[in-house]
Amino acid sequence: MFAIKLTLILLGALLYAFASAGWFLWLAPSLLADGETADILYAFAGTCGWMLITFSLVIHIIKTARPTAADGR
């Protein structure tokens, strides 16, 4: 059971790292290189989506590590 959880955590971390690197090193710079309004809005929306995913992952990790913190006890 521990090996499956560890594998899923490492796979998720690797997927998140590759997606973040792909966004910030490949997709976002290519969108901003053109300078068109639509491309800049797509880059902004993609960065906002990345931030929402990041904050959601942080909240999920904190709530998983401290499940009693939500009760206020």
Instruction: Please report which confidence band the pLDDT of residue 70 belongs to, taking 50, 70 and 90 as the band edges.
Output: low
Average pLDDT score over residue span 1-12: 87
The Cα 49–Cα 47 span in angstroms is 5
Q: Give the pair of three-digit tokens for residue 56.
A: 């959601």
Residue 44 pLDDT: 95
Average pLDDT score over residue span 37-64: 92
The Cα 29–Cα 32 span in angstroms is 5
Instruction: Give the type of residue at 34.
Output: D
Global pTM value? 0.77
Residue 15 pLDDT: 94
Q: Could you state, in order of their start, the residue ranges of all structural domains in the chain?
A: 2-67
The Cα 14–Cα 29 span in angstroms is 22
Instruction: Please report which confidence band the pLDDT of residue 65 belongs to, taking 50, 70 and 90 as the band edges.
Output: confident
Q: For the beta carbon of residue 50, count every other beta carbon within 10 angstroms.
A: 16
